């Protein structure tokens, strides 16, 4: 039963990630400059943002060190168009793919117990009080986060 | 352990629904006429769409009959601005609240076994081959669906 639960949770993540991935994949640097709505984020920024947020999940879920920590400054700390994009589209897409591969191959090995372990941003003490602050909660929250931005990405014609 | 899994899944749903709810709640009929981007859906349409989709979850999850089946024609079958809105904003918001209350109070009573039962749009035969076509899969998919549209709703200033 646990196994089936986990299978469905991972399938849900894969579905939203692949949905946004299919949108980004065919676009070049220039096409990625489009904004999702007037005065709103460029697709390029959203790709960087999602890559940075997923990269942060590696330590947060206890999987390992980050692959692209330098992206945070540009795509999390600062708003769009305030800092120059440090990577061309092809390299950013490569990073996006690498980060997602690292994540998915690790979580596919998680046991049911692993999923219910605390994430690394919560203390032992707080976790004892709130056992829902676990890896599963982070994973579902980030699944919703991709879906949230996917809703914006599809607005670009 | 199952209990903790389910708790996290339901908390994730509540978080995205309440996020979009807080956006819609203060808006009147006129404010809901705004579109999320040029030539894209109005907020009013998205509220109707989410209400209709959640209402469909009642029979899909085996909870009970639909409360607002008439919304489908306007907010699922047809694109925005092709059919007149059948309800004023206040009534549509009431429907949105009722549907979500019916859903959440039913799923909060689901046991782990209930979550892994087939949803009603899959045959026994197909379910035997693909046991992931269960209620949990529907619930996660609809959680992502709300998050997807929440990402659009927040674009309106």
Q: What is the CATH number of the domain that holds A17?
A: 1.20.120.450
Q: Tell me which residue in B11, B37, B134 faces A155 most closely, judged by beta carbons.
A: B37
Q: Which residue of B has its CA nearest to A149?
A: B151
Is a pLDDT exceeding 70 seen at residue A3? yes
The per-residue pLDDT for B1 is 66
Work out the end-to-end distance of chain B between its first and last CA atoms, rounded to an integer number of angstroms.
Answer: 42
Average pLDDT on A67-77 reads 98
| Residues belonging to chain A | 157
| A10 at B interface, C-beta within 8 A | no
- Is B1's CB within 8 Å of A116's CB? yes
For chain A, how many structural domains are there in total? 1
Average pLDDT on B16-44 reads 97
Three-state DSSP class for A5?
A: helix
Is a pLDDT exceeding 90 seen at residue A70? yes
Q: Which burial class, exposed, middle or buried, applies to B111 when counting CB atoms under 10 A from its CB (0-12, 13-18, 19+)?
A: exposed
Query: Which chain A residues are Cβ-neighbours of B118 within 8 angstroms?
Result: none
- Is A140's CB within 8 Å of B115's CB? no
Q: Which residues pair with B35 in a beta bridge?
A: B42
- For B112-157, what is each residue's pLDDT tens digit? 999 999 999 999 999 999 999 999 999 999 999 999 999 999 999 8
- For A27-54, what is each residue's pLDDT tens digit? 999 999 999 999 999 999 999 999 999 9
The per-residue pLDDT for A157 is 86
| B122 at A interface, C-beta within 8 A | no
Q: Are A131 and B4 in contact (CB under 8 A)?
A: yes
CA A62 to chain CA centroid, Å, is: 15
- What domain range is B95 assigned to? 2-153
The per-residue pLDDT for A2 is 87
CA dist., res. A10 & res. A120, Å (int): 20
ipTM attached to this prediction: 0.96
Phi, psi of B122 (to 5 degrees): -115, 140
CA dist., res. A152 & res. A43, Å (int): 9
Is a pLDDT exceeding 90 seen at residue A139? yes
| A131 at B interface, C-beta within 8 A | yes
> A18: which 2 tokens?
């692949």
Q: If pLDDT is split at 50, 70 and 90, which confidence band does A1 have?
A: low
Q: If pLDDT is split at 50, 70 and 90, which confidence band does B48 have?
A: very high
Query: Which chain B residues are Cβ-neighbours of A1 within 8 angstroms?
Result: 2, 112-113, 116
Q: Tell me which residue in A38, A141, A151 faces B149 most closely, judged by beta carbons.
A: A151
Query: Which chain A residues are Cβ-neighbours of B34 within 8 angstroms?
Result: none
The per-residue pLDDT for B157 is 86
Average pLDDT, chain A: 97
Q: If pLDDT is split at 50, 70 and 90, which confidence band does B26 have?
A: very high
């Amino acid at each position: 039963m646990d196994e089936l639960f986990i299978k469905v949770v991972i399938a849900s993540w894969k579905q939203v990630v692949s949905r946004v991935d299919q949108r980004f994949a065919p676009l070049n640097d220039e096409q990625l400059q489009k904004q999702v709505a007037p005065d709103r984020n460029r697709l390029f920024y959203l790709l960087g943002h999602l890559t940075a947020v997923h990269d942060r999940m590696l330590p947060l879920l206890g999987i390992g060190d980050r692959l692209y920590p330098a992206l945070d400054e540009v795509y999390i700390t600062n708003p769009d168009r305030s800092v120059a994009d440090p990577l061309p589209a092809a390299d950013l897409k490569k990073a996006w793919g690498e980060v997602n591969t690292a994540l998915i191959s690790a979580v596919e090995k998680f046991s049911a117990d692993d999923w219910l372990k605390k994430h690394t941003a919560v203390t032992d003490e707080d976790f004892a009080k709130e056992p829902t602050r676990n890896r599963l909660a982070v994973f579902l929250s980030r699944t919703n986060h991709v879906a949230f931005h996917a809703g914006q990405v599809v607005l670009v014609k």
